[in-house]
């Protein structure tokens, strides 16, 4: 894209991101151009494109832009709460679109890799540890996905009783637990091992099978069912 010193309004129409999108399609735009459309306007001394480039230089990727809080945006002078909210909402829409099979369509999960593919964009890059339980019917179709715990950057506290209660309420016959290790490897801790065993034993009494417990790291995942660590 050509560089211009003036604001976007003063650019030739063929160079303006919005006009390019409408004429040639959104797939033809660069990351900074797409981001500039969401920003709509720049700030004092910077066009929307300039600001978009600075934001992308800071966060590197759209995924890194997610799961941020207001403190992460303070360095961008003139960028108000409304624009930040627009960006975060757009990223969340994209994440939900990518995971639209997570709820409500009775998607069947046949193996661990399908779970990883379905949930990795939601579980990677989180700053805090999040624990979810995927409740399945006898055909391994997803009934519901429930968030059980949301912890500090180093720990969460999944509760066996709460998980079993949710499973019984939804008439689930199987459970797949997933959680993340923020900024780290997916290697299971002693607490992860103890929890998985406790949940498995509890399920035996209620005829609810623990199908797997998957830990998401930054570049790898660990499956308790297969007892392996693999890259995404």
CB 220 within 8 A of CB 230: yes
Whose CA is closest to 98, among 125, 117, 126, 124? 117
pLDDT in tens, 11-70: 777 778 889 889 888 888 899 999 999 998 888 888 889 999 999 999 888 878 877 888
1, pLDDT greater than 60: no
pLDDT at residue number 26:
86
d(CA 229, CA 217): 10
Provide the whole-model pTM: 0.62
What residues have CB less than 8 Å from 99, skipping those under 6 apart? 118, 119, 121, 122
Is the CB of residue 76 less than 8 Å from the CB of residue 70? no
d(CA 207, CA 175): 11
Residue 225 confidence (pLDDT): 96
Q: For residue 132, is pLDDT > 70?
A: yes
User: With 90 as the cut, is the pLDDT of residue 202 above it?
Assistant: yes
What's the CATH number of domain 102-231, 3.40.140.10, 1.10.3210.10, 3.40.50.1110, 3.40.50.12160?
3.40.140.10
């Amino acid at each position: 894209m050509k560089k211009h010193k003036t604001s976007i309004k003063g650019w030739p129409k063929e160079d303006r991101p919005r006009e390019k999108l409408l004429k040639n399609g959104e797939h033809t735009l660069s990351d900074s151009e797409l981001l500039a459309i969401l920003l709509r306007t720049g700030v004092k001394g910077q066009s929307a494109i300039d600001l978009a480039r600075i934001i992308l230089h800071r966060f590197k990727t759209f995924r890194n832009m997610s799961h941020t809080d207001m403190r992460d945006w303070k360095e961008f002078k003139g960028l108000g709460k409304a624009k930040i909210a627009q960006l975060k909402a757009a990223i969340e829409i994209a994440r939900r679109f990518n995971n639209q099979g997570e709820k409500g369509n009775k998607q069947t999960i046949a193996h661990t890799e399908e779970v990883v593919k379905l949930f990795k964009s939601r579980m990677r890059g989180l700053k805090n540890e999040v624990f979810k339980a995927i409740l399945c019917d006898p055909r391994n179709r997803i009934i519901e996905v429930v968030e059980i715990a949301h912890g500090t950057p180093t720990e969460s506290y999944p509760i066996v009783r709460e998980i079993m209660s949710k499973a019984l309420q939804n008439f689930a016959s199987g459970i797949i637990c997933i959680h993340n290790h923020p900024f780290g490897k997916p290697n299971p801790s002693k607490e992860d091992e103890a929890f998985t065993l406790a949940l498995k034993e509890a399920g035996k009494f209620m005829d609810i099978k623990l199908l797997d417990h998957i830990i998401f790291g930054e570049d790898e995942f660990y499956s308790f069912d297969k007892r392996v660590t693999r890259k995404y």
